[in-house]
Amino acid sequence: MSSLAPSFASLDNAFSSVCLDQVISQLSRAIITAIPASHPRHPLLRGLLLELAEWETRPNCLREMSYKWCSEISKGYQGLEDGEELLFLSLKIGFRGLDVRRRWSDTMLVHTRHHRYVGDIVFNNGDAEIVADLLQAWISPHHSHMSYSILDT
C-alpha cells in the first residue's frame, strides 16, 4: 500500500497545479474585464494587484497573464487615472524576483502594438526596478503577432 502513496502524491500535485492554473486564468479574465475605468469593479483592481504582487511563490502562468494586462492597461491608458500604478503592479507581478537561471520554457509572451506604450511609460518614469521588470519581459521567449521586434522600442 505504501508504494501507491508517491503516485497519489504526484497525482495530487498535478491536479492542484491544473486547478490553480484554471483559477488564475479565470481571475485574469476578470482583471482584463475590470481594467476600463467605467467598469464597476475597477476600483477593486488596485487592491487585487497589490495582493498578487505580494504572493511569494507566484506560478509561471502569471507571467503571460500579467503581460496581457499590461497591453490592456496601455490600450486604455489615457482614460485611466490609476493606469501607471496598474501597469507597474502588473509588471511586478509577472517579472519581479524571477530566478534568471531558470528557463522560461513554458512562458510565451505575445507582444502587441500596445506594448510600445508600456515602454514609453516605464522609461519616462525612470524607476530602476520597473525598468528591470520590463526588460525581463522583453528578453523572455515570445511569439509576436506584429511585424516588428518589441526591442526596437
Give the 3-state secondary structure of residue 76. coil
Distance of alpha carbon 50 from alpha carbon 82, whole angstroms: 13
146, pLDDT greater than 60? no
Number of domains, the chain:
1
- Please choose, from the candidates 142, 145, 134, 55, the residue with its C-alpha nearest in 3D space to the C-alpha of residue 104: 142
Q: Which amino acid would we find at residue 60?
A: N
Residue range(s) defining the domain that contains residue 35:
5-152
Residue with more model confidence, 24 or 115: 24
Give residue 101's pLDDT.
Answer: 53
Q: In what helix (H) or strand (E) does residue 134 lie, and over which residues does it extend?
A: helix 128-139
Task: Provide mean pLDDT across the span 47-71.
Answer: 87
Output the nine-digit C-alpha cell for 9.
502524491
Give residue 67's pLDDT.
Answer: 87
Distance of alpha carbon 94 from alpha carbon 130, whole angstroms: 11
Residue with more model confidence, 17 or 128: 128
Work out the pLDDT band at 132, boundaries 50, 70, 90. confident
CB 57 within 8 A of CB 97: no
Give residue 121's pLDDT.
Answer: 87
Task: Provide mean pLDDT across the span 100-122.
Answer: 65
